[in-house]
Structure 1
Amino acid sequence: MKSLKDILYGVGLKAVTGTTAKLVNQICFDSRTVSIDDVFVAISGTQSNGHDYIGKAIASGANAIVCEQMPADLINEVTYLEVEDSKKALAIMASNFYENPSKNLKLIGVTGTNGKTTVSTLLYQLFKKAGFKVGLLSTIRIMVDEKEYDTKHTTPDALSINYYLSLMSEEGVEYCFMEASSHGIDQKRTEGLVFAGAIFTNLSHDHLDYHKTFADYRDAKKALFDYLPKTAFALSNMDDKNGLVMLQNTKARKFTYALKSYADYRAQILENQFSGQLLKIDNNELWTKLIGNFNAYNVLAIYATADLLGLDKIETLKLLSELENVSGRFQYYISKNRITAIVDYAHTPDALKNVLETISALRTGNENVITVVGCGGDRDKSKRPVMGHIATSLSNKVIFTSDNPRTEQPGVIISEMEAGVEPQNSAKVLAIENRKQAIKTACQLADAQDIILLAGKGHETYQETNGNRTDFDDFKIIKQALEDLKK
């Protein structure tokens, strides 16, 4: 049990009815999880409004309610706390409830459209190899040093974040690397956290179904830097036109990295091939297994972060050379028929363009590139024709298929992708709604030396249709399909 007064510390209260001198069992924002003596925080969500479930929460035993608007009927035994923003209040309360665990370790946030998972995951791996106890909060997994937990969101809810940070604190974790999505920042899930640093990777077209405008999307990312303390560092990609924007209002120490521009940390690509690439960083050559220009940026961001956190530069370069690629990020397999399959999470126009341009740079010129790609349902529709245009412009053959259609019809999504195909590229296109069949067809179309790109789902091991998730792993499916080929 925790003191309600204590967990409200730092929460701006507009009105209070009832006493705060009481104990609460836990904090809930889902009325279905409420039990005796819990505090229920009513959140105005995109699909439902928690204020509609205050009565249900009280009936389940809640003894305190946090809300943005007081209910018409108040119950004497219940404490009601009116706030300006329930999401912000929840995050601050969550930090207080778990005794502000982010203060006990060095928490580094990674934000941007692409590269968040690679940078945060490889920082986790590098610091583990350097001998530290490390935590990770990412799209793919949550790690409390050696122990792994499942994850469903890029940035977990505020209660989950602080719960895992508290586990890390108990385990003596020194560093935690955390993906900070625009949704998570905008929904105040990172409020109340104390960051030791933040990294900006890049910004391109994504999530405009949620943010509505690119400026809103950019500013959500920027908010992470705006609230950094003076003791933190802010590391930004100077080759991205929004790199300086991220640093405009931050109180943190400012640092930059780039391949093309003047910056505090710079790298040069000396060689690039399927087995990896040779980089020059700080006048030292580094061979890394991570492929492509976009990964050169990721490697440089990791190197800069390690330096800012005090690791020896030469030791960092050595450890970087040992790192393996992240699951579903330019993950490749070469079949016995000498067909190369690449699985990548590229689900934005910029990410798809980067991957296809990387493949193009690695080609000898005789191979065909066959791209299998779809777009997620119930997500930003404006990027669909752009994705269709990019795929057909940079590939020899393209199969439009399902990604995670969710509640939309796959055929409708595909037709919206086809709208971006220029007339001269229309002959390259096949449309196969069934993703497994699309993958098999790509394998049948491929000859020796050809390259198949499966874009969009990457590390995901499921396909979501009408609220149901079924097992689906791009890498396993294409590997089996290639092994079954009789060529």
Structure 2
Amino acid sequence: MLISQFASHFPEGTLSLAKDCKIEFLAYDSRAVVKNSAFFCFSGTQTNGNKYIKEAISNGATLIVTNEVEELISGISYFITKTSIRTLYAKASAFFFDYPATKLSVIGITGTDGKSSTSDFTYQLLNKLGYKTGLSSTVFVDIGEGKSTNNFHQSTPEAFVIQSLLAKAVENNCKYFVLEATSHALSKEYDRLNSIEYSYCAYTTISSEHLEFHKTYQHYIEAKENLAKRTKNKVLIYNNNKALSEIKAIAGDKLYLLTPPLIT
């Protein structure tokens, strides 16, 4: 992907082009920048990526993607936008890997509890049925080469990692990919899963969680709703789920109600 291709694909910003070169990597951490990287300046609770622009350039960044810039450094291209840098990072990651989710049947799993186990059970079942299936969960990852431990230190990794996993699964001829989707990753603030359309999704239990981040239960539910909004076929949920009415309003006729098993 050339810098000019990136800019033309995302008209929501203005490009100051120094040299049109190929982008080899998309980074949000200046320490991870390599030669010919695009560096996306995330704003966080403790710091701001703009403080690390010079370090990113020193490490090889040739394009800086930011909401604001204090100085234009000679020889460096800048893409300045008013939109969310995190959302743009997710969109750019999907573009970088040529939208691999469109070449798979992606199954999203979310909820308060049971995400990892449900993801793993679904992954195992599909493989047992003869459908080559990839996986990304808190515990395990499989890109079609066999299950390995998730070493990304995030239940749902950042967008570039997720898109790279999906791309590898496509290369390895996977038909399905089971993706554990956390409320953080689904939230409008982090938006790591932007540009992924799901064939199916499932909700486990829903209760109050991560309110230190979401602030209110309603915001937590709104993040979870984003999974149903991006699902094109069936949305699976138990008929006693606390968030049933909210998910039903989003899913409409895509809703598929499940009955919890009787335990005696």
Which of 1 and 2 has higher RCO (CA within 8 Å, sep 6+)?
2
Q: Look up the match of 1:154.
A: 155
Q: Offset of 1:77 from its aligned partner?
A: 2.1
Name segments (4+ residues, structure 1) moved above 4 Å.
7-10
Look up the equivalent residue of 1:142 and give its one-letter code: V
Is the CA contact 1:10–1:92 (under 8 Å) kept in the aligned structure 2?
no
> Kindly tell me: are residues 219 and 17 of structure 1, through their superposed partners in 2, closer, same or farther at Cα, counting changes over 3 Å?
same
In the alignment, does 2:91 pair up with 1:107?
Answer: no
Partner of 1:170: 171
- Provide the secondary structure at the position in 2 that maps to 1:24: coil
Aligned mates of 2:192, 2:252 — CA distance in 1: 21
Q: Report if the CA contact (8 A) 2:237-2:256 is conserved.
A: yes
> Structure 1 residue 249: deviation in Å?
3.1
CA contact (8 A) 1:135 1:145 kept: yes
Q: What corresponds to 2:124 in structure 1?
A: 125
2:197 matched residue in structure 1: 194
Cα drift, residue 226 of structure 1: 2.2
- Give the equivalent residue in structure 2 for 1:45: 44
For the pair shown, the structure with the greater C-alpha radius of gyration is 1
Find the residue that maps to 1:249 and give its secondary structure: helix
| Matching residue of 2:216 | 213
SS in 2 for 1:82: strand
- Whether contact under 8 Å (2:2, 2:20) holds in the other structure is yes
* 1:147–1:9 CA distance, 2 compared to 1 (3 A): farther
Correspondence for 2:73: 75
Q: Structure 1 residue 21: deviation in Å?
A: 4.2
- The answer to whether the 8 Å contact 2:33/2:59 transfers is yes
Where 1:232 maps in the other structure, the secondary structure is strand
User: What value does the CA root-mean-square deviation take over the aligned residues?
Assistant: 2.0
Q: Residues 272-283 of structure 1: matches in 2 within 5 Å?
A: 272=264
* Contiguous gaps of at least 5 residues in structure 1: 260-267, 273-487
- SS of residue paired to 1:177: strand
Q: Is the 8 A contact 1:65 1:80 kept in 2?
A: yes
Contact 1:7-1:94 within 8 A present in 2 as well? no
Q: In the alignment, residue 119 of structure 1 is paired with which amino acid?
A: T
Change beyond 3 A, Cα 1:20–1:89:
farther
8 Å contact from structure 1 (residues 66, 86) kept in 2:
yes
Opposite residue 143 of structure 1, the aligned amino acid is D
The question of whether the paired residues in 2 share the 8 Å contact of 1:39 and 1:64 is answered with yes
Partner of 1:347: none
**Which structure 2 residues correspond to residues 275-354 of structure 1 after superposition, within 5 A?**
none
Listed as ranges, the matches of 1:51-90 within 5 Å are: 51-69=50-68, 71-83=69-81, 84-90=83-89
Alpha-carbon separation, structure 2, partners of 1:9 and 1:207: 37
Kindly state the Cα deviation for residue 39 of structure 1 after the two structures are TM-superposed: 0.7
Contact 2:239 2:259 in 1 (8 A): yes
* Partner residue, 2:186: 185
1:252 deviates by 7.4
Following superposition, the deviation at residue 58 of structure 1 comes to 1.6
- CA–CA distance in structure 1, aligned partners of residues 122 and 5 of structure 2: 35
Between the aligned partners of 2:256 and 2:125, the Cα distance in structure 1 is: 20
CA distance in 2, matches of 1:127, 1:137: 14
| Deviation by residue 1:16-75 (Cα, 9 ceiling, x = unmatched) | 222684311211111012122211011112333211111211222211111122x11112
Counterparts of 2:87 and 2:253 in 1: how far apart (Å)? Answer: 22
In 1, distance between residues paired with 2:10 and 2:41?
Answer: 15
Task: Check if 1:134 corresponds to 2:133.
Answer: yes
Gaps of 5+ in 2: none
How many residue pairs align between the two structures? 259
Deviation at 1:7, TM superposition (A): 4.2
